[in-house]
Amino acid sequence: MSLVDIGVNLTHAAFDIDRPQVLERAIAAGVQTLILTGTTVEGSREAQALASQYPGQLYATAGVHPHDVRHCDEQTIPHLRSLMTHPAVVAIGECGLDFNRDYSPRPEQEQWFEAQLQLACELQLPLFLHEREAHVRFMEILKPYRDQLTAAVVHCFTGNADELRTYLDWDLHIGITGWICDERRGRHLQELVRLIPPNRLMLETDAPYLTPRTLRPKPKGGRNEPAFLTHVVQTVAQAIGKPVETVAQATTESAFQFFNLHVPIPAPPPTSL
């Protein structure tokens, strides 16, 4: 089984003490490819630098999360544009709107979301999107740019059926995290994931956050890590009634196509006759 974790915060301080071992455990679990999430200009630089140390295994996005756009200035977009020249950087984001916590003022969130949409159109790169409790305004801002974009994924989808159908109607990809493993708040996702076409579904941990509640034993300190993506794929497979290997292959192929990755996916072992 070969998996792609399309969203992992591997530069987070939670991994400072054992980052190489975290990668070793991921590979051992079958998580062969990781996309490191950039959420600030400096964080995007760190993700790019780390990904460059593991060519063909790690890649990165570059963008500014809506929580952090209050720190943006006239150099933000030029800095992101420069980062996009690195072969390890494969998408723009994490960007979008978050009206749940409002760590940045909403007008600034909207301004810098649109600026990153424009950059994605200019460079013809896919988008790694964040939306929380801002669906209507999110779609209003996205609409004028959708036809100019190559591809976009709604990262860590946790919304309702109407929101999911809208995203799918707009030909967006959907990222599913360990939220689906949460029997308290993720049960609805086990129903909704059945609506997502296989070529539009991708998996992610969002580590060190969103540790699957199905994990036994619980990791010390509650830290999530890429190796635990196996629990996400198992829950998704159970929810849609497909073999785990089938879901793993489909989501991996979707991720390779979405991010335009050129490293070949390992072929399955030959079946004994």
Contact between 138 and 96 (Cβ < 8 Å): yes
Sequence spans of domains, the chain: 3-258
Query: Cα separations (Å) of 223 from 9, 48, 209, 210, 226?
Result: 12, 23, 7, 8, 10
User: For the domain bounded by 3-258, which CATH number is listed?
Assistant: 3.20.20.140
pTM of the model: 0.94
Residue 273, pLDDT score: 27
- SS3 state of residue 211: coil
* Whole-number Å distance between alpha carbons of 185 and 157: 12
Residue 75, pLDDT score: 98
* Whole-number Å distance between alpha carbons of 159 and 177: 12
Buried b (16+ CB within 10 A) or exposed e, 172-183: bbbbbbbbbbbe
Ordered per-residue pLDDT tens for the chain, 273 residues: 899 999 999 999 999 999 999 999 999 999 999 999 999 999 999 999 999 999 999 999 999 999 999 999 999 999 999 999 999 999 999 999 999 999 999 999 999 999 999 999 999 999 999 999 999 999 999 999 999 999 999 999 999 999 999 999 999 999 999 999 998 899 999 999 999 999 999 999 999 999 999 998 988 889 999 999 999 999 999 999 999 999 999 999 999 999 999 754 444 443 332
* Whole-number Å distance between alpha carbons of 258 and 241: 24
Residue 220, pLDDT score: 82
Tokens representing residue 92 in the block: 């723009």
User: DSSP letter string over 60-107?
Assistant: EEE---GGGGGG--TTHHHHHHHHTTSTTEEEEEEEEEETTT-SS-HH
Contact between 4 and 203 (Cβ < 8 Å): yes
* Whole-number Å distance between alpha carbons of 253 and 213: 27
Instruction: Give bridge partners of residue 33 from the DSSP assignment.
Output: 4
* Whole-number Å distance between alpha carbons of 121 and 116: 9
pLDDT in tens, 124-137: 999 999 999 999 99
Q: What are the residue ranges of helices labelled H in 95-144?
A: 106-123, 135-142
